[in-house]
Amino acid sequence: MNLEQLQSFLAVAETGHFTKAAADLHLAQPTLSRQISTLEAELGTTLFNRARGNISLTAAGEALLPVASRMLADADYIRVQMQELAGLHQGRVRLGAPPSMCVSVVAEVIGPYHRQYPGVELQLRESGSRQLLNELVGGTIDLALVVASDHDPGATGALEHIPLLVEELVVISSDQQYLEGYDQELTLSQLAGIPQIVFSQSYDLRATTMDAYRQQGLTPNVVLEGAEMDAVLRFVERGLGVAVVPATVLVDRPGFSSRRLTEPSLKRTISLAHRKDAQLGRAAEVMHDLIASTVHELAEQSPAIRSLVD
């Protein structure tokens, strides 16, 4: 069994088609078919059901899939580590973050990092915390910013979690008429009557806010729902309504006014996670340190952000 065979196996599993997998890998189809047949012979089992026009995994194939993915990710990790140890001034950082972190902390970090280490390849994975935790365990990303308050760090024993910050969820608006009469803060019951833009159901932010409304028996005045982070900010900017966002989102956005929420105050904790059994490469360590220092700077700019980094 070798890495090429595992790569071919994963390609067929992902595409469900030998011809498409061969094209993606730039292999002749007979070569790919031979690699799969050899792998099956070495393992002593069939990995694919080969019905006409339908390729699917057998039970053995399903069992091999996460293992093969992990092995290839580890092999790739080793190659990057050796490049760094060889002093080639190369490397790679695969960073994951939720959309709210991408428009705040990550946006502040990427530019300075690239200017200081132009030879390092940067890859960004934008997704929800649950998916990012799974990808960390699978070895497809190196570091991830995750919402620790919604995802118990102890639930994933394979990962190390470093608490970064606690931030409040605040109400933002670009039109003072929505927040006129509210000095520095407003209650959830007051917010309920203001035209509001609500995130897609995939966002933890939406679940947190809607749960708070339900607990108080309130119904928000929703004018638009189902938007992603960038779209929500644009709609608020255009005066369609207000939105509840993490405090870090307001960094370098002077066009928005904001109010802190009370009764209740909604908060979330952000952690930086990585695998316990894989030592971070030098490039990822530098990214880790830069994120921590950036969090300190953000906390100094807003009373709604508290750094947890020593």
Q: Which fold has domain 3-79?
A: Arc Repressor Mutant, subunit A (1.10.10)
CA dist 133 → 161, 232, 266, 308 (Å): 11, 25, 23, 21
Q: Which two tokens stand for residue 18?
A: 């030998």
Q: Is there a cis peptide before residue 112, judged by omega within 30 degrees of 0?
A: no
| Contact between residue 109 and residue 93 where contact means Cβ atoms under 8 Å apart | no
pLDDT at 217: 95
Average confidence (pLDDT) per 10 residues, the chain, 310 residues: 90 91 88 90 92 85 92 82 60 91 93 85 92 90 85 64 93 85 89 94 89 94 92 93 94 87 92 87 86 90 88
Query: What pLDDT is stored for residue 85 in this prediction?
Result: 56
Q: Which CATH class is domain 167-268?
A: alpha beta
* pTM of the entire predicted model: 0.69
- Distance separating alpha carbons of residues 232 and 7, to the nearest angstrom: 39
**Residue 106, SS3?**
helix
Domains 3-79 and 167-268 share a fold: no
Helix 282-301 to helix 59-85 angle (10° resolution) is 90
Q: Which DSSP string corresponds to 185-249?
A: EEEHHHHHTS-EEEE-TT-HHHHHHHHHHHHTT----EEEEEE-HHHHHHHHHTTS-BEEEEGGG
Partner residues linked to 244 by β-bridges? 171
> What is the pLDDT at residue 194?
94
> Which CATH topology does 87-164+269-302 take?
D-Maltodextrin-Binding Protein; domain 2 (3.40.190)
Distances in Å between the alpha carbon of 234 and those of 173, 210, 231, 238, 253? 11, 21, 5, 6, 12
Q: What residue spans define the domains of the chain?
A: 3-79, 87-164+269-302, 167-268
